[in-house]
Amino acid sequence: MPIAGLNLVPFVSVENMMDLVLETGIDAFLVELAQYIEEDFRRWEHFDKTPRVASHSAEGVIELMPTSDGRLYGFKYVNGHPKNTRSGRQTVTAFGVLADVETGYPLLLSEMTILTALRTAAMSAVAARYLAPKNARTMALIGTGAQSEFQARAFRALLGIESLRLFDVDHGAMARCRGNLADLGLSIALCASPEEAVEGAEIITTATADKQNATILTDNMIGAGVHINAVGGDCPGKTELHRDILLRSSIFVEYPPQTRVEGEIQQLDPDHPVVELWRVICGKEAGRDRADQITLFDSVGFAVEDFSALRYVNEKLKESRHYTALDLLADPDEPRDLYGMLLRRQAWLRQACLA
Amino acid sequence: MPIAGLNLVPFVSVENMMDLVLETGIDAFLVELAQYIEEDFRRWEHFDKTPRVASHSAEGVIELMPTSDGRLYGFKYVNGHPKNTRSGRQTVTAFGVLADVETGYPLLLSEMTILTALRTAAMSAVAARYLAPKNARTMALIGTGAQSEFQARAFRALLGIESLRLFDVDHGAMARCRGNLADLGLSIALCASPEEAVEGAEIITTATADKQNATILTDNMIGAGVHINAVGGDCPGKTELHRDILLRSSIFVEYPPQTRVEGEIQQLDPDHPVVELWRVICGKEAGRDRADQITLFDSVGFAVEDFSALRYVNEKLKESRHYTALDLLADPDEPRDLYGMLLRRQAWLRQACLA
């Protein structure tokens, strides 16, 4: 039975993605991915945007995150299940699809667990380039779970961070993070408390995973002039910062209709002023304009970032062999004859049995 | 590099799906699938329901259709691009995922172009069993595109239809439809007009594909007592029936918030009375209660039907070899150590190069 090319969709497995990232180099991958994200934030107004479509349960959430720039369409499937680690599973797994708007045909199916970790870190670094104090060299990293090393590498590669101050309630996770980041020339301190971790840090990244309102940072821990990169709070009822910090900060967000529901700012009045990050990147609004200003990137992760990541991977595949072809789309010889394809398969199977 | 089982997701390709359907038998597949759909309509209130998330463009639409019963979560990606046939592509292609709500992990990735064709036909037949005149034996089938043979087989298998009256503006498509349905014992007439096709038909199925408000059926063509199965109208600005027919009919729909926007009833006032099909199936409301009543199933396709189809395929896979395992989920030995998985892959690749 002949298989024409139209039925096949390039598929990037987890192993393919690892090999693509390693072949590119982790730092180069983060830097290039950041460029794609920044490019798409510059043309923010071209995107068809909608808050992600979430299905909540007692254990976690499953979300679909679609967007389109009119030429390409992308969506990501992602779950968030904090208890998963108990059964040896990931808290977050993801995959995504990039499609051609003109035909609706998928162009790419890709794992996105690793890709999401990279894009989240690249996004944080893009925001910090506009919001963090100039020449910041020390970052506190609170929560050393699956996202932590990616954050560290992105801030090292894109902002020149030289010193990390880690804290996690799980000391094994802290040690693992330090071990994974050895040989990069980073100075790494393991701290006994969040208070100790933020000492001397110009940038504070929080990336904890509990599905509840937590207070990882309290008001007295936050000195003038720091940049807070709040990565962990990303669904209703899940926050990391004390409300008083928010009231002292200039708050930058990806897409307000989503962040109001999911971000740290769910603790604030619905009309509390926030700045959309794309406006800062486009020069329409100020980012950091005072040395003593506290800036907060209230990151929840938006569909456009996943779109950028899929668009980047799709470009990389043009010069790479790190994918396989998946027989995902029915492609009858005559497009209106879908049923006939079944009949021809039946005839072929019968003949194969006789032969 | 060891690959544990948790990273793998069963994948049903187009070829797998064809073989699964053929092994089961097309009629048996339709009958069993109809049982799953009916079962899920009976527990309609358990489902987390939302209108599909559509991204419209000049050429067509790309949609995501998620739903969950609290234990399983399913979604379908589906496009609708009427001009696709000109470039040898399908108007509609689709794939979908079934996932475990407790962990958020996908259980199944499946092609759904063929599966959607089957579930749409099974859904139509389920509705007709409650709405069509008893002992209907003749069906008019207007629009003999990719959906037509599936409709014919489902109505033959589930309602005992013996006679088909076909019409399409494309005579080749009509001949193809008749050819594909030969050897089933159906009496098949090719008609010169829609008017001729509906003569003597107790059930009228419309399954045309243009993305525009069309008038496939006019009021004078619809006699008392018929059941209309309107399959083709399924997005804003795309309808098949004259408004006057709607005003004379008892209208049954899948999920009103979606059908009001996409179905034939987009032509009516937003508060025009309609009956939700699940209420008929559960015996909460009457279906057909008079012999001269015109019943209309204003079918647009709802996420629960795709969920039923994925649930059915997932069950079938327990006794079948028609799938492969896809390396879709990152599965590090230690779930919080996603980054370490990259490092271990790097070490393995280096060693492999040296060896």
Residue B9 in this model has a pLDDT that exceeds 90? yes
pLDDT(B335) > 80: no
Identify the residue among A90, A181, A304 best suited for mutation to test binding to B, counting B beta carbons within 10 A and taking the highest. Answer: A90
Q: Helix (H, G, I), strand (E, B), or coil: what is residue B218?
A: coil
Helix residue ranges per DSSP H, A167-293: 171-181, 194-198, 243-248, 256-262, 277-281
> How far apart are the C-alpha atoms of A94 and A114, rounded to whole Å?
8
Q: For position B232, what pLDDT does the model report? A: 81
Nearest 5°: CA angle at A310, between A306 and A313? Answer: 140
Residues in chain A with pLDDT values less than 70: 1-4, 210-211, 233-234
pLDDT of residue A233: 67
Contact B330, A90 (CB under 8 A): yes
- Catalytic member of A234, A269, A289, A298: A234
Cite the active site residues of B. Answer: 234
pLDDT digits (tens, 9 = 90+) for A289-328: 999 999 999 999 999 999 999 999 999 999 988 999 999 9
Helix (H/G/I), strand (E/B), else coil: B10:
strand
Tokens 């309602």 appear where? B159
Q: Using the beta-carbon criterion (under 8 Å), do B335 and A89 form an inter-chain contact?
A: yes
- CA dihedral for B29, B30, B36, B39, sign (positive or negative): negative
Residue type, A222: I
Asked if residue B314 has pLDDT above 60, the reply is yes
State residue A67's pLDDT score: 97
Share of chain B above pLDDT 90, in %: 81
Which residue of A176, A184, A304, A338 to mutate against B (max B Cβ within 10 Å)? A338
Three-state DSSP class for residue A285: coil
Q: What value of ipTM does the predicted structure carry?
A: 0.90
pLDDT at residue number B210: 66
Asked if the model's pLDDT at residue B330 lies above 80, the reply is yes
In sequence order, the β-bridge partners of residue B217 are B241
- Residue B195's H or E segment, with its range, is helix B194-198
Q: What was the pLDDT predicted at A259?
A: 93
**Is the C-alpha dihedral spanning A301, A307, A308, A313 positive or negative?**
positive
Kindly determine whether residue A332 and residue B90, on different chains, have CB atoms separated by under 8 Å.
Answer: yes
Q: Strands B187-190, B163-167: parallel, antiparallel or unpaired by DSSP?
A: parallel
Q: CA-to-CA distance for A107 and A251, rounded, in angstroms?
A: 36
- CA dist A114 and A124 (Å) reads 16
Contacts of A298 (CB under 8 A, 6+ apart): A230, A233, A251, A252, A253, A259, A263, A264, A265, A274
Largest distance between two CA atoms of chain B = 82
d(CA A228, CA A217): 10
Closest Cα in chain B, distance from residue A347 (Å): 10
In chain B, residues with a C-beta closer than 8 Å to the C-beta of A328 are 13-14, 95, 111
Burial B209-241, CB ≥16 within 10 A → b, else e: bebeebebbeeebbeebbbbbbbbbbbeebbbb
Listed by number, the residues of chain A in 120-149 with a beta carbon closer than 8 Å to a beta carbon of chain B are 144-149
pLDDT at B186: 98
Cβ under 8 Å to B: A residues 261-320:
none
Q: Is residue B275 within a helix (H) or strand (E), and if so which, with residue range? A: strand B275-276
- Tell me the DSSP string of B310-330: HHHHHHHHTT----EEEE-S-
A264's enclosing H/E stretch is none
DSSP state of B82: G
Which B positions 66-105 lie with beta carbon below 8 A of chain A? 66, 68, 70, 73, 75, 77, 79-81, 84-85, 87-91, 93, 95, 97, 99, 101-105
Q: Tell me, rounded to whole angstroms, the distance of Cα B347 from its chain centroid.
A: 47
Mean residue pLDDT across chain B: 93
Interface test with A, best of B22, B76, B90 (most A CBs within 10 A): B90
From the list B73, B81, B332, the residue facing A103 with the nearest CB is: B81
Least confident piece of the model among B120-134, B209-223, B243-257? B209-223
DSSP code of residue B293:
P
Would you state the pLDDT for residue B3?
Answer: 38
B283 contact partners, CB below 8 Å, separation of at least 6:
none
Q: How far are the Cα atoms of A44, A276, A278, A291, B191 from residue A281, in angstroms, in the given order?
A: 10, 9, 5, 19, 62
Rounded alpha-carbon distances, angstroms, from residue B175 to A337, A341, B180, B354: 11, 16, 9, 63
| Domains of chain A, earliest start first | 5-114+305-349 (3.30.1780.10), 135-301 (3.40.50.720)
Q: In this structure, is the dihedral angle defined by the CA atoms of residues B268, B272, B273 and B278, taken in order, positive or negative? A: positive
CB–CB contact B105 A79 (8 Å): yes
Q: Which residues contact A233 (CB under 8 A, 6 or more apart)?
A: A206, A239, A240, A241, A262, A263, A264, A298, A300
Q: pLDDT at position B1, please?
A: 34
The token pair that represents B201 in the structure block: 């038909």
pLDDT for res A353: 80
A55/B62 CB distance under 8 A: no
Q: Which residue has tokens 């993070």?
A: A177
Pair B300, B66: CB distance under 8 Å:
no
Alpha-carbon distance of B310 to B307, in angstroms, equals 5
Query: CA of A237, closest CA in chain B: separation in Å?
Result: 18
Burial B111-126 (b: 16+ CB within 10 A, else e): bbbbbbbbbbbbbbbb
Cα separation of A339 and B146, whole Å?
7
**What SS3 class is residue A201?**
coil
CB of B349 less than 8 A from some CB of A? yes
Q: Does A327 participate in catalysis according to the annotation?
A: no
Beta strands B72-80; B61-68: pairing state: antiparallel
pLDDT in tens, B75-101: 999 999 988 988 888 888 999 999 999
Q: Please, are residues A30 and A154 in contact by the beta-carbon 8 Å criterion?
A: yes
Crossing angle between the packed helical segments A338-354 and B14-24, to the nearest 10 degrees: 70
User: In this predicted structure, what is the pLDDT of residue A280?
Assistant: 98
Angstrom distance (rounded) from CA A218 to CA A194: 9
Q: Look at residue B238 and tell me whether its pLDDT is greater than 50.
A: yes
Does B214 score more than 80 pLDDT? no
Where does the pLDDT of residue B326 fall: very low under 50, low under 70, confident under 90, or very high at 90 and above?
Answer: very high
Answer yes or no: is pLDDT of B144 > 80.
yes
